[in-house]
Amino acid sequence: MKRLGLLGCGAIGTTIARAIDSGIIEAELSHVYDSAPEASQRLAGSLRAPPAIAPNAHMLSSYNVDIIVEAASQDAVRDYALSVIQNRRDLVVMSAGALLDESVFEVLSEACSEFGRSIYVPSGAIAGIDALRSVAGEIESITLTTTKHPDSLRGAPGAVDLPDAGSAVIFEGNAHDAVAKFPRNVNVAALVSLGTVGAARTLVRIVADTAATTNSHTIEAHGAFGRILTKVDNVWDPANPKTSRLAALSAINLLQRLCSKTGTIRLGV
Ligand SMILES: NC(=O)c1ccc[n+]([C@@H]2O[C@H](COP(=O)([O-])OP(=O)(O)OC[C@H]3O[C@@H](n4cnc5c(N)ncnc54)[C@H](O)[C@@H]3O)[C@@H](O)[C@H]2O)c1
């Protein structure tokens, strides 16, 4: 059975840990770490098989674990991803926006190659990324429109003109600028651009709508292949309305596949 370490014990980390604890993911949650000690203690204390709490993030990958799951922040990816790979562990990244920094992407790609490990990025809170990657070479234009309640966007560096009532387009630009201005809100912009046309050519529109009851993501891509149009109306994670429940479910689905025994039929990755 694979042994997992968890970096980040918030909304997504908790959902993943519970899925391991209840056997939905056939793995052992060996160690956890969160920069907020109460978050790791609360999570570890709530599980039937409590994991050990690592004393710091670097230590997490020094134990006998197979996969580290990052569900913390873009900073955590920038600060710790390299040491995970250097410690010869695979890594699952939720804060995908960090990978749009070309220097981060390059350093991690080279480390994966040198140490023979992999970084996995779940499909997150969007649908259709498999098809978009399949047609990547033929995409002429691709647009992501994200609609959220202003409360889910508040606090982001780019959230300056949030409407008090009604809806307003508060950002239009490329995926690079989107993840810089909304680092905790539009990791999906990184997911859409990675493996397709890149961040500079991915157009992102963010709409703040006081009537929004979901986090919705619409992707429209055109090219020689035809048109791909997908829309997901995501239920908020009860622990963090910035986060869509589908994001954690996509990580659980990926981990189920990574932790499944060999000699099975594999759907997707
Ligand atoms: N890929 C996707 O589709 C998608 C969707 C939603 C959220 N996300 C991203 O996933 C990450 C986790 O989301 P969440 O909703 O669980 O957030 P959350 O705020 O509920 O939990 C994050 C936890 O990580 C901890 N943390 C933050 N930075 C850390 C660091 N440097 N070292 C150690 N611990 C750290 C925090 O204390 C917190 O407990 C965020 O970066 C979020 O933007 C990705």
Annotated catalytic residue within 31, 149, 176, 217: 217
Tens-digit pLDDT profile for residues 39-64 = 999 999 999 999 999 999 999 999 99
Domain, as residue range, for 92: 2-121+247-259
pTM: 0.95
State yes or no: is 217 an active-site residue. yes
Pick from 22, 224, 34, 250: nearest CA to 129: 250
**Domain identity same for 60 and 142:** no
Tens-digit pLDDT profile for residues 205-236 = 999 999 999 999 999 999 999 999 999 999 99
**Domain count within the chain:** 2
Question: Which residue has the least CA distance to atom 29 on ligand 1?
Answer: 72
**Domain identity same for 21 and 103:** yes
Residue keyed to tokens 């963010």: 206
Pick from 156, 181, 152: nearest CA to 244: 152
128 CB within 6 A, ligand 1: no
Query: 242 in a domain, yes or no?
Result: no
188 CB within 6 A, ligand 1: yes
Question: What CATH number does residue 167 fall under?
Answer: 3.30.360.10
Q: How far is CA 209 from CA 29, 134, 147, 166, in A?
A: 39, 32, 7, 6
Question: What CATH number does residue 100 fall under?
Answer: 3.40.50.720
Mean pLDDT, to the nearest integer, of 173-194?
93
**Domain identity same for 116 and 133:** no
Query: 266 in a domain, yes or no?
Result: no
CA of 39 to the centre of ligand 1 (A): 12
**Domain identity same for 146 and 88:** no
**Domain identity same for 155 and 196:** yes
Query: 264 in a domain, yes or no?
Result: no
